[in-house]
Structure 1
Amino acid sequence: MTSYIVGLLSMEDVISHEQDRVFSCRSITARDWAEWPHIASDSAGRPENGRVFIGPTKSEARALKSKHITFADSQRPSSSCKCATFSHNGKILAASFDSNNVLVWRVSDGLLVQRLHHRGHAEQVYCLSFSPTEYSIVSGSEDATAIIWDVRSGHVLLRLEGHGGTVRRVEYAPHGRLIATSCSDDRSLKIWDASTGQLRHSFSADQRIFKLVFSPDSSRLYAELRSSCLIYDMDTYTHTATIEHEVESMLNWSLSRQGDRIVTGSREPGQVKIWDAVTGKELLAIGHPVKLSYPVAFSPDGTEVLAACDADKTALTYDSQTGQLRRVFELSEEPTHVTYSPNGGYLALRANRRPLQVYAAKSGTFLAEFEWGEDDRMLEETHFLPDCQALLTRFSRGPLVLCNIHDVMRMR
């Protein structure tokens, strides 16, 4: 690793000053007011100090100063974030913090551009999904409704009613014409017309639904139950297949970005399998001397799958066609979260209640480990921005944290 000096300043100081300048000089212009009538500096994202460990290997990594941006609700500063999502272009971030409000920020400068609440939900918001157009967002709430909002004006466009309890999952189809919602209380899955709010179809599930994912072409919907994945056809509104392992146990799965295959992982009996995403037919069972587990994920190009091995405290990548082992990532504890950057360049891994680490996905090279304080918090989810320059993390408590991967790479 090379240590760069600019004048009398190290690269870490140069980057820190750059970030301070961006956030200290941010202002609201007439153009901002025209685009976002409710823009405000209240609840704006705040730069905070942390540390990043950078080196050619984990054992040789040294600590450097690193700033990250935190997002919270200033009206409820101690509240935890229940849900967060980016617009498809990565320019807008929306989140809700133990309340019936949805906050919307501009990522470039962290300014709060909208607070969605007027004539909105009566109870806490649990889930969010942006439309492909970026200008509307759907929220699901404890009040048994989902609401489609105009993000710019803050107005309610449509209210989706019909569930018998908390709406815990909402998802826009990639083509933007359908919205899927699910409710754990009545164990129902509903499909809505996104432009009219008309209910298209309702499915019943015999278990709680943990995740909803549309195929890239919007022709299929996948619903994650505790021990299975259900496949629904969105043209005929029929349940076409069920993916499950021989032994009923907690199942984790991931859809390839191409939409052609699904990888599943379960702790018992320790299997990782690849399936046809249309028919649900098993294509490949990946073998390993020790039991494999989850999380599991496809690389963005679909050529590899990643799986966890709890016994070895490792994350492993395999050829997705042959099942041949490619790389081993050694961690200090069992891996609990994995996220690929959209371009496949980075791989973010976190072991149980340990700092988040970033690797070069193709070579397996260690790049950085982030220390933000209170790293014993449970990590709920991580997301790379579409441009692959930053990574958002949501913990079980505290604010959202956005770290700039590009700046960290400049310090290497």
Structure 2
Amino acid sequence: MEDVISREQSLTLSRRTLTAADLAEWPDAALDGAGQLEDAHVFTGSSSAETRPLKLKQFIFTDSRDPSKDCECIGLSADGRLLAASFQSSDVLVWRVSDGLLVQRLHYQGHTDDVRALSFSPIDYTLVSGSLDRTAIVWDARRGRVLLRLEGHRGRVSSIAYAHHGAIIATGSAGVDRSVKIWDASSGACLHSLRVDEDTYKLAFSPDSSYLCVELKTSCIAYDIRTYASTIMLQQLAGEALFSSMSYQGDRIVTCPLSDLEQVKIWNATTGEELLTIDHPMKLSRPVAFSPDGAEMVAACEADMTAVTYDSRTGRLRHVFKLTKPVDSVMYSSDGYYVAFGASGGSHVELYDAKSGMFLAKFDGREEAGLILEVQFLSGSHTLITQFERGPLLLCNVQDVLRIR
């Protein structure tokens, strides 16, 4: 079966051509720079401690003009069809995920310094990029044109989020600026500027686009988008690093402090009321996240090298995942069937059945890859994309692994 799947993958790549339909949709598409197949280092077995290697292929994505450059940021379209990335440059590359075709290189009249943040519109293929040049640019990814230039930050633009209705964009700056700006996505007008006291780590709109969640180093603040007033500020210990994640439904926020003195807590995202403290016998740590249906939350436990899920309403323990290394990142598939953990201090991803807690597979990166920076499932699919500290992006099809396992 492994040979059959590998041949299928190689055959798909060998038949990759630029058709008239491709060029009609993507006039700047090019075979040069397309994603390539390489042997994947995938292992499966009855547990993470007892595995056997699988003979599979995986897609790798690099900037073909300088493959030695590392990926700084990625963005995924809402429909899961497109992958955007930037590799230590002012250019943004956009690929079609199904066959790895490079459909666009965004650079003309673009940034003058490296790109550090990317976000697709939730309603089309408009893409926003944030850069060290202190600007954000709204692109027509299909035609490769600059639509809007968002100027006003005094420091690098390090985080971007689109509201779910697609009408507004939020950008966060770090360094000397430390502000969050709200922009009209149609006109590029700056609607409001929020002053924050720390670098912005992450921005996320609620599903109804009514409030914006801003994750800072030591706190998490929610702002009402109609009034721009701060509605809640979550901070467990003053001056201590705090990690947070909003539920997919936007009704709750889970926080995890770095300090050993506090536990993981779940809060009402509207009122700031503390709803639940997770009572685990050992200190839980980041990463923390909700499952797509909001029924459970997951957190890591470095003390015994596990990750655990708890019922997010009752606080009842659900599953314990026995990992081979501590983890820095976690991601559920959109259907909630699988959960992937990115190892800290190592370049592999461990995949588990989210419903049973059963180990499914381990995906190893290249030896030189370094730390895992981000792990994501493509929307509506079981395809896993991993961004490493060094080297190319790796894309693995979970279904291929499950066909063999």
Q: What pairs up with 1:192-211 in 2 under 5 angstroms?
A: 192-211=183-202
Q: Provide the residue aligned with 1:3 in structure 2.
A: none
* Deviation sequence 1:383-406 (CA, Å, 0-9, x none): 101123210000111111000101
Q: Say if 2:249 is the partner of 1:296.
A: no
Q: Say if 2:316 is the partner of 1:324.
A: yes
- Counterpart of 1:246 (choices 237, 240, 253) is 237
User: What SS class does the counterpart of residue 55 from structure 1 fall into?
Assistant: strand
Provide the C-alpha distance between the structure 2 equivalents of 1:55 and 1:375, rounded to a whole number of angstroms. Answer: 25
Q: Provide the residue aligned with 1:336 in structure 2.
A: 328
Q: Say if 2:28 is the partner of 1:35.
A: no
Q: Which amino acid aligns with 2:146?
A: V
Structure 1's unaligned 5+ residue stretches are 1-10
Structure 2's unaligned 5+ residue stretches are none
Provide the C-alpha distance between the structure 2 equivalents of 1:129 and 1:186, rounded to a whole number of angstroms. Answer: 21
CA gap 1:375/1:365 in 2 versus in 1, 3 angstroms: farther
Q: CA deviation at 1:375?
A: 6.8
Q: Which amino acid aligns with 1:319?
A: D
- Counterpart of 1:124 (choices 105, 114, 119) is 114
Q: Provide the residue aligned with 1:67 in structure 2.
A: 57
Q: Provide the residue aligned with 2:273 in structure 1.
A: 281
Provide the C-alpha distance between the structure 2 equivalents of 1:263 and 1:375, rounded to a whole number of angstroms. Answer: 34
Q: Say if 2:100 is the partner of 1:100.
A: no
Provide the C-alpha distance between the structure 1 equivalents of 2:366 and 2:118, rounded to a whole number of angstroms. Answer: 27
Q: Which amino acid aligns with 2:4?
A: V
* Deviation sequence 1:120-143 (CA, Å, 0-9, x none): 111111101001222210111111
* Deviation sequence 1:204-238 (CA, Å, 0-9, x none): 01111110000011001011111100100001111
Provide the C-alpha distance between the structure 2 equivalents of 1:246 and 1:100, rounded to a whole number of angstroms. Answer: 39
Q: Which amino acid aligns with 1:264?
A: T
Q: Say if 2:104 is the partner of 1:114.
A: yes
- Counterpart of 1:77 (choices 56, 67, 71) is 67
Q: CA deviation at 1:281?
A: 1.4
- Counterpart of 1:235 (choices 226, 230, 233) is 226
CA gap 1:151/1:303 in 2 versus in 1, 3 angstroms: same
Q: Which amino acid aligns with 1:257?
A: Y
Q: CA deviation at 1:310?
A: 1.2
Q: Say if 2:358 is the partner of 1:365.
A: yes
Provide the C-alpha distance between the structure 1 equivalents of 2:114 and 2:294, rounded to a whole number of angstroms. Answer: 37
8 Å contact from structure 1 (residues 338, 347) kept in 2: yes
8 Å contact from structure 1 (residues 353, 375) kept in 2: no
* Deviation sequence 1:151-190 (CA, Å, 0-9, x none): 1111100101111021111111110000001111211110
8 Å contact from structure 1 (residues 267, 291) kept in 2: no
8 Å contact from structure 2 (residues 369, 391) kept in 1: no
Provide the C-alpha distance between the structure 1 equivalents of 2:50 and 2:181, rounded to a whole number of angstroms. Answer: 52
Provide the C-alpha distance between the structure 2 equivalents of 1:378 and 1:51, rounded to a whole number of angstroms. Answer: 16
8 Å contact from structure 1 (residues 221, 234) kept in 2: yes
Q: CA deviation at 1:335?
A: 2.0
Q: CA deviation at 1:51?
A: 2.4
Q: Say if 2:341 is the partner of 1:377.
A: no
Provide the C-alpha distance between the structure 2 equivalents of 1:259 and 1:247, rounded to a whole number of angstroms. Answer: 25
Q: Which amino acid aligns with 1:22?
A: T
Q: Provide the residue aligned with 2:156 in structure 1.
A: 166
CA gap 1:53/1:270 in 2 versus in 1, 3 angstroms: farther
User: What SS class does the counterpart of residue 384 from structure 2 fall into?
Assistant: strand
**374-383 or 194-203, which deviates more:** 374-383
Q: Provide the residue aligned with 1:6 in structure 2.
A: none
Q: CA deviation at 1:332?
A: 2.6
* Deviation sequence 1:93-133 (CA, Å, 0-9, x none): 11100000000111111010100000111111110100122
- Identity of matched residues, %: 54
Q: Which amino acid aligns with 1:391?
A: L
Q: Which amino acid aligns with 1:36?
A: W
8 Å contact from structure 1 (residues 270, 292) kept in 2: no
Q: Say if 2:383 is the partner of 1:393.
A: no
* Deviation sequence 1:33-53 (CA, Å, 0-9, x none): 111110001110000102211
Provide the C-alpha distance between the structure 2 equivalents of 1:247 and 1:171, rounded to a whole number of angstroms. Answer: 27
TM-score norm. by structure 2 comes to 0.97
Provide the C-alpha distance between the structure 1 equivalents of 2:136 and 2:225, rounded to a whole number of angstroms. Answer: 20
Provide the C-alpha distance between the structure 2 equivalents of 1:139 and 1:41, rounded to a whole number of angstroms. Answer: 24
Provide the C-alpha distance between the structure 2 equivalents of 1:247 and 1:371, rounded to a whole number of angstroms. Answer: 38
User: What SS class does the counterpart of residue 304 from structure 2 fall into?
Assistant: coil
- Counterpart of 2:204 (choices 190, 193, 213) is 213
Q: Which amino acid aligns with 1:267?
A: L
Q: Which amino acid aligns with 1:322?
A: T
8 Å contact from structure 1 (residues 304, 319) kept in 2: yes
User: What SS class does the counterpart of residue 47 from structure 2 fall into?
Assistant: coil
